With several copies, the nearest count.
Chain A
C-alpha cells in the first residue's frame, strides 16, 4: 500500500527552491574566481562569464554567470582605467554577485561589479613571476649586457606601420639637423593584445636571421591608450627579447608601470620621441669628441711647434750665455792661479829672507857672546893665577917661619938661658942615674962656664 503522497508541481518546487535561495542568500556577496571565458556577445552586449575555481590544476568548482550589458561596460571601463587592459579571458577577478534561482534558467550568479584592483594585483603577480623566472634563468640582464655600438645607426623597427609613435620617431631621426644618417627597416607587428606576443616573437625571429645588418632592434609603440600592454609582461616574449643577440630598445608610450619587456630591454625610453632623441644623443656622443679632436688637432700641434721653437730659441741663447760664462770662469781661474802664484812666491821670498836675517842675527849675537865669554874666562884665569900664587907664597913663608921657631927651640943655648944645665960624663949627656956611680967625676955645663963635681949618690927621683 502506498502512503498518501504529497506531490508538487515543478513550478511549486522551483518556486520553493527560489524562495529557499531568496531566504538563504539575501544579500550580494564578494566572490573570488577565475574567469575562464568572458563570453561577450557583441550583439546584445551581455556577457556570460564562465567561472571556475582550480586546485592543483583541477577544476573543483564551476558556475555560469551573467554580466549585463551596462554592468559590463562600467566594469570594463574601470578595468581599462586601472589595469590598462579590458576584461578578458583567463583573468582572476573579485566580483560582487547575487545568487539567484530562476524557475526557468535555474541557478545563476549575477555579476553586479568587478573590482579591478584584485585583478591588477594578480597581473602584477604574474609580472613578478615572469621577472623572477627570467632572473632564475639568468636572462634578466642578458640584453642589457650586450654592447650597443657607438653609433646605433642600423635599426630593425618593430612597430605598426601607421602608428603615430613610429611617425614621431622617424621624424626625429630622419630630419635631424646634424645630417646624421640612420638606416632602418620596419618589421610590422601587433603591439597590443593577446596576439602581440606571437607576432613580435615572429618578427624577432626574422630579424635574428639578418642580425648582422642591424645594430639594434627598436620596439616602437605610440602613446595614447594603455590598453593591451600586458602582453609585454608575457614570459615568452620577455624571454625572446632577453635572449635576443643584438640590443633591443623600447619606446612604448604609456602611463602605467614599466612592463617586463621594458625592464629587460637594453634601453627603455618612455616614448618613441625619447628613444629617437636617445639615438641622436648617441650620435652626438660620437660626433662631439670627433669635432673636438678636430679642433684640438687644429690648435694643439701648432702650439706644440711654437713651444718647441721657443724652447729651441731658449736653448740656443743659453749656449751663447753658457759659453761666455764658461770663458769668464776660465779666465778667472787662470787669473786666480796667477794671483796665487804671485802671492805665494813673494811669501816664500819674504819668509826665506826672514830666515836668513834670523840666522844673521843669531850669528851676530852668538859670535859676540863667544868673544865676551872668552874675555871673561881670561880675566878669571888671570885673577885665579894671582890669587893662587900669592896664597902659595904666603903658605911657604908661614912654613919657613914655623921651621925657624922650631929650630930656635931646639938650640940648647936657649935651655941653659932658663937655668937648666947639662950634666955630662966624658962628654956624654947623662939621662939616667944608673949611668953614674958614686965617685964618678961629672962635668956640668952652664950658660956661662963649666963645673967639675964628684958623685956622692944617685936615685931615681924624677920631676
Chain B
C-alpha cells in the first residue's frame, strides 16, 4: 500500500496532508469519485506516520539504552 510519493516525505508534511484529507472528507468536500483515491492516500500517509513514529521510538530507545548502559 506504500505510495512512491510518500517516500521522501517527513512526518509533519505527511501528518499535515493527512489532516487536510480527513478534514476534507469530514466537510463533505470529497465526492464519491475521489473518495477511494483519497482514502488510499490517507491510508498510505497513516502508514508512513506510523512507520516514522515506530522508527523514532526505536531509535530513541536504542540511543537511551546505549546511554544508560554506558553510564553503569
Which of A77-85, A127-135, A162-170, A346-354 is found at the contact surface with chain B? A346-354
A290, B50: Cβ atoms closer than 8 Å: yes
A384, B64: Cβ atoms closer than 8 Å: no
Interface positions of B from 39 to 66, Cβ below 8 Å from A: 39, 42-43, 45-46, 49-50, 52-58, 60-64, 66
- B71 at interface by CB-CB < 8 Å: yes
- A60 at interface by CB-CB < 8 Å: no
A300, B58: Cβ atoms closer than 8 Å: no
A404, B28: Cβ atoms closer than 8 Å: no
B64, A209: Cβ atoms closer than 8 Å: no
A384, B26: Cβ atoms closer than 8 Å: yes
Cα A445 to Cα B36 with chains together (Å): 14
Which of A30-38, A92-100, A405-413 is found at the contact surface with chain B? A405-413
A393, B18: Cβ atoms closer than 8 Å: no
Q: Which residues of A contact B56 (CB under 8 A)?
A: 153-154, 181-183, 305, 327, 345, 349, 371, 393
Query: Could you give, for residues 308-319 of chain A, a 1 whenever the CB lies within 8 Å of some chain B CB and a 0 otherwise?
Result: 110111011011
Interface positions of A from 35 to 90, Cβ below 8 Å from B: none
Q: Interface SS of chain B: helix, strand, loop or mixed? A: helix
Partner of B32, one of A181, A182, A371: A371
- A382 at interface by CB-CB < 8 Å: yes
Partner of B64, one of A154, A183, A386, A422: A386
A312, B49: Cβ atoms closer than 8 Å: yes
Interface positions of B from 11 to 41, Cβ below 8 Å from A: 11-12, 15, 18-19, 21-22, 25-26, 28, 30-33, 35-36, 39
A181, B55: Cβ atoms closer than 8 Å: yes
Cα A357 to Cα B25 with chains together (Å): 16
- A117 at interface by CB-CB < 8 Å: no
Cα A355 to Cα B11 with chains together (Å): 12
A309, B53: Cβ atoms closer than 8 Å: yes
A374, B68: Cβ atoms closer than 8 Å: no
B22, A422: Cβ atoms closer than 8 Å: no
Name the residue in B25, B35, B52, B68 with the highest tally of chain A Cβ atoms < 10 Å from its Cβ: B25
A297, B25: Cβ atoms closer than 8 Å: yes
Known contacts A334-B50, A379-B71: does B26 contact A389 (CB below 8 Å)?
Answer: no
Cα A323 to Cα B25 with chains together (Å): 7
Interface positions of A from 368 to 420, Cβ below 8 Å from B: 368, 370-371, 374-375, 377-379, 381-382, 384-386, 388-390, 392-393, 395-397, 399-400, 403-404, 406-407, 410-413
Known contacts A341-B25, A360-B71, A410-B25: does B53 contact A323 (CB below 8 Å)?
Answer: no
Partner of B50, one of A322, A400, A411: A400
Cα A96 to Cα B50 with chains together (Å): 66
Q: Shortest Cβ distance from A202 into chain B, in angstroms?
A: 11
Known contacts A150-B11, A364-B64: does B22 contact A371 (CB below 8 Å)?
Answer: no
A385, B64: Cβ atoms closer than 8 Å: yes
Cα A2 to Cα B62 with chains together (Å): 93
- B67 at interface by CB-CB < 8 Å: yes
B50, A367: Cβ atoms closer than 8 Å: no
- A118 at interface by CB-CB < 8 Å: no
Q: How many residues of A contact B (CB 8 A)?
A: 111
Q: Which residues of A contact B66 (CB under 8 A)?
A: 209-210, 213
Q: Closest residue to A294 on the B side, CB-wise?
A: B46
Cα A59 to Cα B43 with chains together (Å): 74
A410, B58: Cβ atoms closer than 8 Å: no
A378, B67: Cβ atoms closer than 8 Å: no
Additional 18 contacts, C-beta under 8 A, given A378-B15, A393-B53, A400-B50 = A178-B53, A183-B56, A213-B58, A287-B53, A312-B15, A327-B60, A334-B46, A345-B56, A356-B15, A360-B43, A362-B22, A362-B26, A364-B64, A368-B60, A368-B64, A381-B46, A382-B71, A406-B22
Q: Interface residues, chain B, CB within 8 Å of chain A? A: 11-12, 15, 18-19, 21-22, 25-26, 28, 30-33, 35-36, 39, 42-43, 45-46, 49-50, 52-58, 60-64, 66-68, 70-71
Query: What are 29 inter-chain pairs, A to B, with CB distance below 8 A?
Result: A153-B56, A185-B63, A210-B67, A213-B58, A287-B53, A293-B21, A302-B60, A308-B32, A316-B71, A319-B22, A323-B39, A331-B53, A337-B22, A348-B25, A348-B28, A353-B53, A356-B50, A357-B71, A366-B22, A366-B25, A370-B25, A378-B71, A381-B18, A382-B46, A382-B71, A392-B25, A403-B18, A427-B33, A429-B31
Q: Interface residues, chain A, CB within 8 Å of chain B? A: 149-151, 153-154, 178-183, 185, 206, 209-210, 213, 283, 286-287, 289-290, 292-294, 296-298, 300-302, 304-305, 308-309, 311-313, 315-316, 318-320, 322-323, 325-327, 329-331, 333-334, 337-338, 340-342, 344-346, 348-349, 352-353, 355-357, 359-360, 362-364, 366-368, 370-371, 374-375, 377-379, 381-382, 384-386, 388-390, 392-393, 395-397, 399-400, 403-404, 406-407, 410-413, 422, 424, 427-429, 445
